[in-house]
Amino acid sequence: MNRRDLLAGAAFTAASYRRVLGANDRINVGLIGCGSRGIEALLKGALEVREQTNIEFPAVCDIWRQHAEQAAQVVKERTGSEARQIRAYRELLSLKEIDAVIIATPDHQHAAMLADAVRAGKDAYCEKPLGMEMKDLLNCVDTVKKSDRIVQMGTQIRSLPSSMAARKFITGGGLGQVFKIEQERNGVTPYWHRYGERPLVESDTDWRAFLFNRKFRPWDEKQQTGWFGYRDFSRGAHANLMVHFIDLVHHITGNDVPKRCVTLGNTFVYKDSYTAPDSVETILEYDNFLVRYSTAFGTGNGNYLKFFGTKGTLDASNWSGKPFTLDMKGAKEPLPEGSTIPEMESDAHMLNWLKCLRSRQQPNAPIEAGLAHSVAVILSDEALIRGRRMVYDPVRRAIREG
C-alpha cells in the first residue's frame, strides 16, 4: 500500500476519535499552496484573527521553493514562530499536530486534495472552483459528507455584510419575483498574463507534482506560472471568475444548481499560447429565472452585476462590502421611493470558518455550496466544448445534452 492508500484506510477511524476542540484549545493550521492567493488573502487573513481564534501555522507547503519560503517568512514575522517548509502535500497531511488545512493550489488539484485532507482527518478551507470534472467533484463531495469534518468553500463574497443583507432582502420577497440576474466582468488583459510573467526555473519546483493528475508533458515554465490560462489546469473565466458570481446567485436567491445551459466563447484579441478563451458568454436557466455571465478581455469597460425583480433592480456591481443599491425605475410593481436594503453584520469568511472549527457548526459556504457552484461552471464549460445546450440531472448527478 502507498501513503495515499494508508491515509484513505485510516481516515474515518481517526476522524471519529479525534478530540473535540474546546474554546481554549490551540488550532494548528497548515497552508497548502503558497501563491499570492494563499499568502496575501488566506494566510494573512487568518493571521489577522490569530489571537482571537487561537491558531498557529506550524507548517506551510508548496512545490515552488520560493513560495514556501515566503509563506514561512510571513508566519515568522507575524508570530515569531518557525513554520516547517514542506514540498509534498501528503506529507503535511500526515502530521498529527495539524488540525486543519487551507488549500490554495491550482484549480485541477482542489477536489482530490480536499478529499485527501478529509480522509486524513483534517478540517479544511478550500479555494474555488471545487471541481473541474464531475467524477472528481462527486468523489470529493461524498467523501466530505461521509465525514465529520468542517469544510468551507473559498467563495468569500457570500460572507460580506452586503451579501448577507441582500440574501435576507431577496429571500424575504423584497425584490418581488427575481426573474433575471446578470454579470458583465471585463478586463483589459486576461488575468493569467500577470501570473505567467513570473520567473521560475525547473530546479525550484516539482513539475510532476504540479501536473498532478494531468497527462505528462515536458517542463513548460509558462504552463506552471500562468496555469490560469491553460484549460488543463483552469477552464477559463467562465469557470474561474464566474464561480464568484454564480455562488453569490445561489446564496442570495436560495437556489442551488442550474437546470440547463448554453455557452459561446472564443479567443478574439489575445491570440497567444494560452488555451483559455479571452471572450465567453454563458446563460444558465434555473427554475424561476435566467442567469447570464459574460467576460471579454480587451476592455475594462461595461462591468456590472444586477438582480432584476418585479419590484426593482438590485445593483451588486460593487461587491467590496459596501451596501448594494436599489433602483425602482421600470419595475412592474415598484418599491416606495427611498427604499433601501437594511444593513447587517457578519464575520469575515475566514473568521467564520475558524469559529466553526470550535462550534462544529456548518460554515457559510459548506460542501453543498461547492457542489452547486462546480456543477454550474462544469455545465457552462461542457456547453462551450460541445456546442450544445447541456442539462444537469440532479437525481443522477450527471450532465448530458438536452
Is 150 within 8 Å of 356 (Cβ atoms)? yes
Q: Which three cell numbers stand for residue 86?
A: 514542506
The per-residue pLDDT for 319 is: 82
The per-residue pLDDT for 53 is: 97
- Count CB-CB contacts under 10 A for residue 285: 15
* pLDDT over threshold 50, residue 11: no
38-91 confidence digits (pLDDT tens) = 999 999 999 999 999 999 999 999 999 999 999 999 999 999 999 999 999 999
The pTM score is 0.94
Q: If phi over 0 gives left and psi between -120 and 50 gives alpha, with beta otherwise, what is residue 180?
A: beta
Give the mean model confidence (pLDDT) for residues 27-36: 98
DSSP-based three-state secondary structure for 400: strand
Q: Which domains does the chain have, with CATH numbers?
A: 3-149 (3.40.50.720), 158-348+375-401 (3.30.360.10)
- Count CB-CB contacts under 10 A for residue 95: 18
Q: Give me the long-range contacts of 206-212 (CB less than 8 A, separation at least 24).
A: 206/63, 206/87, 209/63, 209/87, 209/88, 210/63, 210/106, 212/106, 212/108, 212/109, 212/112
319-348 confidence digits (pLDDT tens) = 877 889 999 999 999 999 889 999 999 999
> Mean pLDDT across the chain, nearest whole number?
94
* pLDDT over threshold 80, residue 121: yes
The per-residue pLDDT for 195 is: 96
Kindly report the three-state secondary structure assignment for every residue of 258-303: CCEEEEEEECCCCCCCCCCCCEEEEEEECCCCEEEEEEEECCCCCC
Q: Mention every residue, 6+ apart, whose C-beta is less than 8 A from residue 135.
A: none
* pLDDT over threshold 90, residue 307: yes
The per-residue pLDDT for 24 is: 62
Percent pLDDT > 70 in the chain is 94
Give the mean model confidence (pLDDT) for residues 179-190: 98
The per-residue pLDDT for 4 is: 46
| pLDDT interval class at 22 (50, 70, 90) | low
